[in-house]
Chains A and B, each alone.
Chain A
Amino acid sequence: MSDIAHAFAAAFGLIVTRDPGLLEIVLLSLRVSVTAVALASLIGLPLGAAVALFRFPGRRAVAVLLSALMGLPPVVVGLIVYLLLSRSGPFGVLGLLFTPLAMIVAQTVLIAPIVAALARQVVEDLWVEYSEQLRSLGATPGGAIWTLLWDGRFSLVTAVLAGFGRASAEVGAVMIVGGNIDHVTRVMTTAIALETSKGDLPLALGLGLILITLSLIVNGAAFVLRDATRGHR
């Protein structure tokens, strides 16, 4: 019992004193996950909207596939990206393996389907309401994509936050393609896994507390945003 209390005290100490080692890990985590979310949104939002709006053969199948990909196991994504980026892989010449960029790629692959699947749902619901009006005004399906993404912006923030939550919490993918190298590719989740197995509980706990706080802040922001925009609906 006192071990745990001691570990908590030490963890708070690390946070309060802004321990440089801890800070470095937190900042890298944020850099990787935020960049991955930005890229995944760039890909996933238009993709989801396109699947919602365009009528093409196999559209249902694509929608089902997107939903299925939401549950991609991070370790499998890590493995696939590892194979693609490894020396003998097709993108081996780029030398990206065990760099933050490789981690960004892996997380983007992991969460782009989440953003796309949630965006498809939002845009499809909006299209039911907007379809006749937009066609009457002369909008093409291609143009309607941007209109609906913009008008669905408040709901779509939730999709993006869901992607961020998933990215910042996963261990498997960044562990495999990043390698958890100190000062290079060590992020919060991989550090927690390593420090726990090494027995350095204060650092692991400190990072864990930050991770949970981050998740609370992100979800709280989503709530505040939704309430603030209720008047505009």
Chain B
Amino acid sequence: MASGTILPLQLDDLAFEAVGKRLIDGISLTIGGGPRTIILGPNGAGKSLLLRLCHGLLQPAAGTIRWRGPGAAGNGRRQAMVFQHPVMLRRSAAANIDYALRLKRIPRTLRRARIREVLDDTGLSDLAHRPARTLSIGEQQRLALARAWAAAPEVLFLDEPTANLDPSATRAIEDVIAAIDLSGTKIVMTTHDLGQARRLADEIVFLHRGRLLEQRPAVEFFARPLTAEAAAFIEGKLLW
């Protein structure tokens, strides 16, 4: 493992465009280590785009994305992402995790123990040898978490990981997220689900129409939103 943290992550005047439309505009913010950051906002606010930009999957049209920590040089290997629709490779659950660890150049001798450990922590031990694509959607999402968590990333991006799940599966995912948080990995997660944001957030980043409206501790945000849009969103009014 490289020494030193890669955080904080600093965005300056970030913009992203697709087919001539500006979908992310003028976002400047800093994400530090520690508390869980929830990127909140209605559908189409640009939450997923912002996450993909941070993770390096998209290139910004303007502005910069910089990892400012002392270990920033090796940032690519020390972040991971879980998608709303995770892609499971056509092999067993355990082999999916092994694949991710191999890409991070974890030696074979360490991989087996780590796979067993992370399957255990996500409650998937009994399914280790099942083809990943035959698992239920909830189990696949847990496996996606296990796969992302296995290499002990410093930062884990989660893009609406429970959007397609029923309450019990959502509960299982949130428990795993809490465990990942406890293990010391920084959680940066998007959601449009207010209840989930209340349950999980330490810090809220509130987006609306591609712009950053608020970034504040969750307790303050929910008690006294500063913008009319945030207030309306918290009250459950339709926002677009």
Q: What is A's interface to B at a CB cutoff of 8 Å?
A: 129-130, 132-139, 143, 147, 150-151, 153-154, 231-233
Contacts and interface: CB of A to CB of B under 8 A. Distances in A.
B99 interface: yes
30 contacts: A129-B87, A130-B87, A132-B52, A132-B57, A132-B83, A132-B87, A133-B86, A134-B87, A136-B80, A136-B81, A136-B83, A137-B80, A137-B99, A137-B100, A137-B147, A138-B77, A138-B103, A138-B104, A139-B103, A147-B89, A147-B99, A150-B90, A150-B91, A151-B90, A151-B91, A154-B90, A231-B131, A231-B134, A233-B90, A233-B133
Contact of B133 (A134, A138, A232): A232
Contact of A232 (B55, B77, B87, B134): B134
Interface residues of B, number: 21
Q: In terms of DSSP, what is the predominant structure of the interface of chain A?
A: helix
Contacts of B83: 132-133, 136
A137 B76 CA distance: 9
A129 B81 CA distance: 16
B77 to A, nearest CB: 6
Nearest to A231: B134
A131 to B, nearest CB: 9
Given A132-B83, A135-B57, A232-B133, A143 B103 contact: yes
Contacts of A136: 55, 57, 80-81, 83
A129 B55 CA distance: 18
Contact of B76 (A138, A153, A232): A138
Contact of B87 (A133, A150, A154): A133
Nearest to A132: B57
Contacts of A139: 103
Contacts of A151: 89-91
A128 to B, nearest CB: 11
Contacts of A231: 131, 134
B48 to A, nearest CB: 11
B131 A232 contact: yes
Contacts of B133: 232-233
Interface in B128-157: 131, 133-134, 147
Most chain-B Cβ atoms within 10 A of its Cβ — which of A132, A137, A154, A231? Answer: A137
A46 B87 CA distance: 22
Q: Which are the 7 A-B pairs with shortest beta-carbon distances?
A: A133-B87, A138-B103, A151-B90, A136-B81, A232-B131, A137-B100, A137-B103
B81 to A, nearest CB: 5
